[in-house]
Structure 1
Amino acid sequence: MELISGYSALSVKMADQTLMASILALLFGFVVLYRLVFKKNGETKSESESSAVTTTTVISRSKNGADVDADVIIVGAGVAGSALAHTLGKDGRRVHVIERDLKEPDRIVGELLQPGGYLKLIELGLEDCVEEIDAQKVFGYALFKDGKATRLSYPLEKFHSDVSGRSFHNGRFIQRMREKAASLPIVQLEQGTVTSLLEESGTIRGVQYKNKSGEELKAYAPLTVVCDGCFSNLRRSLCTPKVRVTKLFIFLLV
């Protein structure tokens, strides 16, 4: 069995070498999809705890679906949701983000950003989100087996010296991305739990959700993007993909 660990200033933990970069790459697909929708149909902060992002609550909400609250509703303000909200906001789109909990996440997941993921952050204008979160640069891996060790370095010779992997506390990274998205006046983050998608004639028109106070509300937009994570109940309501475990990764914490 191989035990793998990064060799940076701090220990590196990793669940999948390409997961973060893949998530960020998908954001461009969402933007293209959004623009196609509007080309076809025409252009149509509450307070949390001390560690939470300051947000603005959407004021206009339609009960009959005649009006819309935003150009896009995004369910979830994790890596994908926050990055997408910022990207669309920079493009001049009104974005309503609904996140179950706006406090800083505290869990072990996504602690390693690959160099490709950092390059995607640069493309999205989000590279400063790895600053001021005690992120450590990572330049490769160390492999240990049968008493022997070897190093595998990232092939970064053709890139700027700042391009490397990053190891960090995932919660701090997400909070920085949320703050970046919320800094745009047309991006509105709201704490709430989406309970269902609003469907009409086979088309998703918006969402029904409970806000922080427990009030049942509805929000409408021409496009709704579900970014609420791998355990999404909303995704299961739309499709039932067969999940396959393709590989396992074993790591050593030192």
Structure 2
Amino acid sequence: MTNAEDAVDALVVGARPAGSATAIALARAGKRVVVLDRSRFPSDTLSTHLLWPGGLAELRALGALDRVEALGAPRLPIGMAVGDGITLRGSYSTVDGVGYGMCVRRTGLDAALVRTAREAGAQVREGCRVTGLVVRSGRVTGVRFTGRDGTEEELRAPLVVGADGRRSTVARLVGVERPYRREPSGRACFFGYWTDPHPPWREIAAQWRAGAELGTAFPCDGGLVLCLLQPPQDRAADFRQDTEAEYLRTIKAMPGLAERLRGGELVGGIRSATGIESYFRRSSGPGWALPGDAGHFKDPVTAQGIRDALRYGRLLGEMAAPVLHTDRLDAALLDWERRREAECLEVYQWTNGLARGERMTPLEIELYRSARQRDRLTTLMLDVYSRSRRPGEVATPRRGLALATAALARPAADRRTVLAALSRDLRTMVSDALERRAVRRRPLPPTPGLEGPRAP
């Protein structure tokens, strides 16, 4: 074991988007940063990896956008959504000069971020597995890990960052693995890559909804297109019997998506994620913090994970750097955690609604009809995904009432169904607003006490 007094300014566990973003910000502030990751890059990971303009703006802020664009994924300036036979096409408002999305496979994206972190001055050690935390007087003061040659090592730092994903080792070791806010998804995920024989579609990020089914096609690097299906969770059993056959059958049952992929070939196998749960965990404490999925996760249906990992990793580094060796560090970490919760809670609530795994309601259908006639409304809807607009700017009580009125005026309208949808939407708006107000007023749940050293 190396000298226990070996010390740096910050230790980051995990080198993917959240960890690299944190390390870049700290290193650019002149701090000595060591990043540990069990993978060796380039390395893939389970992810749907679509970035809206807001996510690409975060890559630009980190100095990684040019490197990521060089991977060859096409720019996606057009967003398209099809529901109940109604097609919406629109463009995004620019975010820090970026007005397009991109779908970049994680093998290249994560390696590009690791290279950017190294260029900023961070030391990234690959093939390292964290086995425990060093704790003194209730504070996390370092980590113990096994290096790529199998030797046990220990490093000390005033800040340990757990950027190690949903199954975070750091979250488990500090005792916050159980979320304080959680919501099971009503959808499962199954995705694969296809060759893409349709050049005109390579600038469009597209989504189709048919009944309770949801499917997407996002052009990505390597001349491929990512096709993600999110069927209702109760259909996961159908996929388990013969995953590829059910995946292909589901695509065939969505004519628009089937036409988009016509002439392409499925490359490799189908990847899946079932039993998905969105959550907030306590994400800061004495000497530690959890950016990325380690601390907060949203269902993939709105594709927010990478953007938030980049943004709040960067902000964590920027807020912690000036106070790393002072008694103000813990307060800065708590401020960072509160900021993320305040900025992400409404999007978390909106995402949970889209992840119910249900058919479109009459009000959603009317929203599509209205947006088809108004380009500005389509852009507003796309900007919610990009995070330049709030969900509440689309889902207002006034708009809900207007949509219900239009739906009731349809000749074949089911009055009971329309009013039930309006009632649920209004109740959800009120309960979500009350939750956000309560969050602003009440403290976060306490973090558990630590006595160390901590080991698995």
Q: Same fold (TM over 0.5)?
A: yes
TMscore range, shorter length: 0.5 to 0.7
Match of 2:32 among 78, 94, 97: 94
Whether contact under 8 Å (2:63, 2:116) holds in the other structure is: no
Match of 1:188 among 100, 119, 123: 123
Query: How far apart are 1:110 and its partner, in Å?
Result: 4.1
Which aligned pairs between 1:191-210 and structure 2 lie closer than 5 A?
191=126, 192-210=128-146
Deviation at 1:119, TM superposition (A): 1.6
1:62 is aligned to 2:14: no
Matches within 5 A, 1:73-222: 73-156=11-94, 160=97, 162-184=98-120, 186-191=121-126, 192-222=128-158
Give the paired residue count: 189
Larger radius of gyration: 2
Q: Is the 8 Å Cα contact of residues 140 and 151 (structure 1) preserved in structure 2?
A: yes
Instruction: Report how far residue 132 of structure 1 moved.
Output: 1.5
The secondary structure found in structure 2 opposite 1:196 is strand
Quick check: 1:118–1:163 contact (8 Å CA) kept in 2?
no
User: In angstroms, what is the RMSD of aligned CA positions?
Assistant: 2.3
Alpha-carbon displacement from aligned partner over 1:114-152 (angstroms, at most 9, x marks no partner): 111112222232322322211221224322234442224
Where relative contact order (Cα < 8 A, 6+ residues apart) is larger, the structure is: 1
Does the residue aligned with 1:244 lie in a helix, a strand or coil? strand
Out of 172, 184, 189, which is 1:245 matched to? 184
**Which residue in the other structure is 1:31 paired with?**
none
Q: How far is the alpha carbon of 1:203 from its aligned partner?
A: 0.2
Q: Secondary structure at the residue paired with 1:155? A: coil
Q: Which runs of structure 2 are paired with 1:25-36 in the superposition (5 Å)? A: none
Select between 132-141 and 186-195 the one with higher mean Cα deviation.
132-141
Which amino acid is 2:142 matched to?
Answer: G
Runs of 5+ in structure 2 lacking a partner?
190-213, 217-226, 228-260, 262-456
Which residue of structure 2 lines up, in the alignment, with residue 6 of structure 1? none
Is the 8 Å Cα contact of residues 104 and 175 (structure 1) preserved in structure 2? yes
- Tell me, in whole angstroms, the C-alpha distance in 2 between the residues paired with 1:159 and 1:209: 39
Quote how far apart the aligned CAs of 1:61 are. Answer: 4.4
Change (3 A) 1:152 1:236: farther
Provide the rounded CA distance (Å) in 1 between the counterparts of 2:65 and 2:113: 10
* Paired AA for residue 109 in structure 2: F
User: Structure 2 CA distance, aligned partners of 1:183 and 1:85?
Assistant: 11
Q: Match of 1:224, as an amino acid?
A: V
> Could you list the runs of 5+ residues in structure 1 that have no partner in the other structure?
1-59
| Equivalent in the alignment of 1:229 | 165
- Identity, in percent, stands at 29
Deviation by residue 1:212-232 (Cα, 9 ceiling, x = unmatched): 111111111111111011111
TM-score normalised to structure 2 length: 0.39
- Preserved contact between residue 74 and residue 98 of structure 1 (Cα < 8 Å): yes
What amino acid is the match of 1:209? F
1:92 match: secondary structure: coil
Cα distance change, pair 215–68 in 1 and its aligned pair in 2 (3 A): closer
Amino acid at match of 1:244: E
Q: Is the 8 A contact 1:61 1:220 kept in 2?
A: no
More helix by percentage: 2
> What SS does the corresponding residue of 1:136 show, helix, strand or coil?
coil
How many Å apart are 1:188 and its aligned residue? 0.9
